[in-house]
Amino acid sequence: MDLSFSMKDDLARLRTLGNELAVTMGQTTSNLRMGFGAFVDKTTSPYMYTFPPEAVDNPCFGINEKCQAQFGFKHVLSLTEKVARFTEEVEKQSVSRNRDAPEGGFDAVIQAVVCKDKIGWRPDASHLLVFTTDAKTHIALDGRIAGIVQPNDGRCHLDNNNIYNKSTVLDYPSLALMTEKMSENNINLIFAVTSYVVPLYKEYSMLIPGTTVGTLSDDSGNIIQLIEEAYAKIRSKVVLEQLGVPEELNLSFNATCLNGEVIRGVSSCSGLKIGDVVSFSVEAQLRSCPKEKSRTFTIKPLGFKDSLEVTVDFACGCNCEAMAEANSDLCSNGNGTYECGVCQCHKGRLGPHCECSVEDYSPSDDVNCISKPGSPLCSGKGDCLCGQCSCHANEFGQVWGKYCECDNFNCLRFKGALCSDHGKCSCGLCQCDSGWKGENCNCSTRTDTCMSSIGLQCSSRGYCECGVCHCTQPGAYGATCEKCPTCPDSCTIKTACVECQHFKRGQYSNDNSCSRICKDEIRVVDELAFHDVNAVNCSYKDENDCVEYFQYYEDESGKSILFVVKEPECPKGPDILVVLLAVAGAILLLGLVGLLIWKLLVTIHDRREFAKFEEERAKAKWDTANNPLYKGATSTFTNVAYRGT
């Protein structure tokens, strides 16, 4: 762990995580051992504070704080099963402070790898080395700033106090040295670093096989989850590495992974679980004949102790050489040795059957040594003897041909290598080995390296050229163009993974290809969160006509995460009471509407009839003052005898 001053809060957090780390890793292995080591940087200027003198013992003197003196690497606790001891030793630690920004972490890595006895690495166990920091790190040749020019020797240099005592003598280690020592000791390295330096350590990881990178939170609170995920990633993949293979030997691998399909040219399998069985076959091709007729090399899975030693015996000669006939009659009456069907002529004799003598030279024979008029004799690379070209020896290789026009060293090169070391030069042209093409044999014909986990070449988002994917779909990236959160088809591809990984159904689940194709992490949530970049929200209708919602997201480390909403939206069944009420209401409504329509029609009809009556009455021509037929209801009589007073 980096104990420079910027890691102060991380150390405080780690003090509380010992027991939790043991419980979490205990779910993966039943025999867990943990240890602890710390580093800062080389204890010399300009890496450390040397002025004022008080800053040597207390590098925090200039900021009015107290911290321990700077050190290169300190082995604190050997691997132990006692979690309490781990917690106890971590609680004793305090931060230090160095002068420059990069740290000396790679010095610590080398010592932790090669000091097997002091660290306590067990030969039959899986070895995991976690490297935590929030800063860049010094690499080989950086020591020249302090006048340190002696290369790191890759040996253990811990003194009796478990302090690295060659910090000011040996330079920082190179990436190649770290790779070599980690391979020798079967150690997997996890870079647990903050987001600021993740891109840098990803580049380191690409150059150091068997390493993974995880993004550390600001206070290292997610260190347990990070270690768990990194360990699972390491154990889910098997990669074969080759050690000590002769340059004259070309090895090609064929892998048989989970689905039983033989993948040619591949030396790794991924997506594995405990109990899965994979197999590899190896084909060897001899490029040229080495001086040593027997060589041994090693093939081993990266990060494992098991290995296979292969001894190869090179049979470069032919058995017919032992049956050579000296002074054979087949070679112009004894002017040569008949060996393997060819005459090896004595000195001064030439020709397929040694029939020509150098003493019989005639200038007229020179015309047979010129390829075309105006050309030099034997292309300027030989002498014309008896009308035949005798090619000169050349320190760069062989010269041959009727006119000495061919050689095996004048061909195109790539990065200084003749025919890219993937073919043979013959008469000015590269004859490429199997699996290579191009004028200089630098283009691989393999296409399996372009196959994505879902079985599509370059994920159908680009084209494969020379074994490398060139992504053409905007937004696509990755070794096989497999990463593209903003591509239109992202939801379609990930839908099948949600079905098989979360719901255990669908095509991938039926044909047992889920673990091989889908490498996503499933996280069940109540609702989808918002992410600014590298995320796309998706939905689909499942076999039950329910709408499932999920989000395809890729974090800063490139890890694919599928956030699946816990409860889908499913159509509800019909409510009988509601249906009955609805039908009754509909009938009643129709009845009321019918009555209203009838009433409306009757009203309209009555109004029309009344209007018609009024119209006809207005048109009547008789006098309405007296009705000749009318007689009143009363009669009036006059009393003639009455005399009024």
Q: What is the mean pLDDT of residues 93-114?
A: 93
Residue with structure tokens 């939206």?
A: 569
- Mean pLDDT over 387-411 rounds to 85
Nearest by Cα to 246 from 421, 432, 414: 421
- The pLDDT of residue 361 is above 60: yes
From CA 359, how far away is CA 561, in angstroms rounded? 85
Q: What is the dihedral of CA 127, 130, 136, 140, to 10 degrees?
A: -20
Q: What is the pLDDT of residue 173?
A: 95
Q: What are phi and psi of 575, to 5 degrees?
A: -95, 115
pLDDT of 488 > 80? The answer is no
In terms of Cα–Cα distance, which of 46, 54, 68, 65 is closest to 163? 68
Q: Which of 69-83, 243-257, 272-286 has the highest mean pLDDT?
A: 69-83
Model confidence at 108, pLDDT cuts 50, 70, 90, reads very high
pLDDT at 140: 93
Q: Are 110 and 173 in contact (CB under 8 A)?
A: yes
- Confidence check: pLDDT of 486 > 90: no
Determine the Cα–Cα distance for residues 130 and 1; give it in Å rounded to an integer: 8
Give the lowest-confidence range in 12-26, 34-48, 297-311, 370-384.
Answer: 12-26
CA–CA gap between residue 263 and residue 451 (Å, rounded): 10
214/638: higher pLDDT? 214
pLDDT of residue 558: 61
Kindly tell me if the per-residue pLDDT of 473 is higher than 80.
no
Report the distance separating Cα 140 and Cα 104, nearest Å: 11
Both tokens assigned to 589:
């409504």
DSSP H helices in 40-115 = 54-57, 83-92, 105-114
Q: Do 111 and 73 touch, CB atoms closer than 8 A? A: yes
Q: At what angle do helices 198-207 and 175-184 cross, to 10 degrees?
A: 60
Residue pLDDT, tens place only, 498-544: 888 888 888 888 887 787 677 778 889 988 888 766 778 888 888 88
- Contact yes or no for 568/548 (Cβ under 8 A): yes
φ, ψ at 282 (rounded to 5°): -125, 135
Distances, alpha carbon 61 to alpha carbons 69, 100, 214, in Å: 11, 16, 34
Largest CA distance in the chain: 207
| Residue 621: predicted pLDDT | 59
Residue of 368, 377, 365, 374 lying closest to 405 (CA atoms): 377
Alpha carbons 86 and 92: distance in angstroms, whole number: 10
pLDDT of 74 reads: 94
CA 622 to chain centre: 113
